[in-house]
Amino acid sequence: MKLLIQYLLSIIIFFPIILFFITYFISLKRKKSKVKSFGIASDLTTLVLFFSVPLSVSSLWEKNYNGVVFIIALIIAIIFTYIDWRTKKEIEVFRLLKKIWRLYFILLSIAFFVIWIVGLVQSIMEYAFS
């Protein structure tokens, strides 16, 4: 049983799009709107992407970028908070966190797909020229 859970978690970490679609369809079945279902799925997938992107980089190029990803995320949060503070009189924390979290989803998703495409091209090149 422990091994099965380990395999499922590994699949979800290396293929977070599977988690996104599962969460999206479960939310739709629970009578949520498409927009709310997409939001719930992206929120959950963002958490997994925070671990998936550095793990993908380390498995392809054997370099550890966990700290870099979290520092960039912290800098983005600081910038968004500063912008929100300068434009509004009162910061709405929940809305601010939601905006930051959704931006993380977009950036980490793009990074994940770019890393996988580059890794795929790299593997094809190594196979073709070896």
pLDDT in tens, 68-122: 999 999 999 999 999 999 998 788 999 999 999 999 999 999 999 999 999 999 9
Q: What's this model's pTM, rounded to 2 decimal places?
A: 0.88
Buried b / exposed e over 58-94, threshold 16 CB at 10 Å, is eeeeeeebeeebeeebeeebeeeeeebeeeeeeeeee
Which is more confidently placed, 20 or 90? 20
- The residue behind tokens 């434009």 is 87
Length of the chain: 130
pLDDT in tens, 22-73: 999 999 999 889 999 999 999 999 999 999 999 999 988 888 888 999 999 9
